[in-house]
Amino acid sequence: MKITLAELAASFDAEIIGDRDREISGVATLQQAGEGELSFFHNRKYKQHLLATKAAVVVISAQDKDLCPVTALVVDDPYYVYAKIAEKFEYKEPAKAGIHPSVVMGENCQIEDHVALAPNVVLGDHVCIGEGTSIAANTTVGSHATLGKHCRVASNVTIYHHCIIGNNVSLHSGAVIGSDGFGNAMHEGAWQKVPQLGRVIIDDDAEIGANTTIDRGALGDTKIGKGAKLDNLIQIGHNVEIGNHTVIAACTGIAGSTKVGNYCMIGGNSSINGHIEIADHTMITGMAMISRSIKEPDIYSSGTGMMTLRVWKKSIARFKQLDKIARRVTALERETRRDHD
């Protein structure tokens, strides 16, 4: 596929500095882009790569356009515009509308127009699938589950019974939606499983990464908000609520009944305690451990930075002595006050 720079500029009301008729045949990084390829620049940390780029065109902001050594497409938000342009070159597995003969379908299913069901898809009873949705091979959808319009469900996804998936939702391979939450009651020396009676509800335009698991609610529902983006290998506990347009990076775990606000950003490998609340617009850096509610939006971190093993061992030894040191300081402060009195 090829598209002229003039056509792209018209789509984004962008200014062109350079050859308007330049044809774009792909996208790449500033370092790797070559003839016919488009890249973007939005962080001055990569200025040296911009100055040396061999890209045909760079998407760039007005404040940085004078730095660009090649043809520039000047826009307000370079990263966003790059993302929209990259969509034009993205390969998407074709999903031809229709139901493959190997599909197993339960009773009283409602399948709207232009739905694509690939080989070995299994649908339980009373499943509803909206117009234009595609479900790839070997995916299972439990009874009474609902998928909205224009969803893209990859292969080997499991959607449990009664779960509700909105419109334009993407579920990547290995995702499990609606498995039992972790609830057990101790009685006479043995654990009694607590039935998980709720659902998972995923709102429109959300994306769930590969091998991410979202537990169904114990009584109420587990909820993923509109436009939320969850990376791969995330665990969402029962009755968790993720706000609209919140993004969560890989390997994060969120314990049950926690509420994460709208427009939050959570770094990878974070651990978030249960039964707490996180305010809208909060940013949590990677590997943080959040043990209590966050009521004021800010950037939050925890843990220790990287250091050599030798220094880390010394630091841990001193950390263990902090309580003793604090007690000694408190005692010294009391003695000092008595002396002044």
For 160, the 3-state DSSP assignment is coil
Percent of the chain with pLDDT over 70: 100
Computed over every residue of the chain, the mean pLDDT equals 95
SS3 state at 215: strand
Instruction: Give the whole-angstrom CA distance, residue 305 versus residue 139.
Output: 41
Mean pLDDT of 326-332: 92
Task: Judge whether residue 132 has pLDDT over 90.
Answer: yes
Residue 113: HSE in the Cβ half-sphere, 13 Å Cα cutoff: 0
Tell me: the pLDDT tens digits for 56-94?
999 999 999 999 999 999 999 999 999 999 999 998 888
> Sorting pLDDT into bands at 50, 70 and 90, what band is 337?
confident
156 band by pLDDT with thresholds 50, 70 and 90: very high
Q: What is the pLDDT at residue 91? A: 87
Residue 99's pLDDT band, with cuts at 50, 70 and 90, is: very high
Q: What is the pLDDT of residue 310?
A: 92
Map residue 286 onto helix, strand or coil. Answer: coil
Residue 194 has pLDDT above 80, yes or no: yes
Between strands 122-123 and 134-135, the pairing is unpaired
| Cβ atoms of residues 134 and 153 within 8 Å | yes
Looking at residue 312, its pLDDT comes to 87
pLDDT digits (tens, 9 = 90+) for 9-52: 999 989 999 999 999 999 999 999 999 999 999 999 999 999 99
Q: Catalytic residue numbers? A: 238
| pLDDT 10s digits, 236-249 | 999 999 999 999 99
pLDDT at position 229 is 98
Query: By mean pLDDT, which of 96-105, 274-283, 332-341 is the weakest?
Result: 332-341
Distance CA 96, CA 117 (A): 9
pLDDT at 95 over 90: no
pTM of the predicted model over 0.85 = yes
Provide the angle, in degrees to the nearest 10, between the axes of the packed helices 322-340 and 309-320: 50
Average pLDDT over residues 202-206: 98
pLDDT tens digits for range 295-321? 999 999 998 778 899 998 998 899 889
Sheet bearing 57-60, strands edge to edge: 15-17, 71-74, 57-60, 37-40, 26-27
Q: Is the pLDDT of residue 340 over 80?
A: no
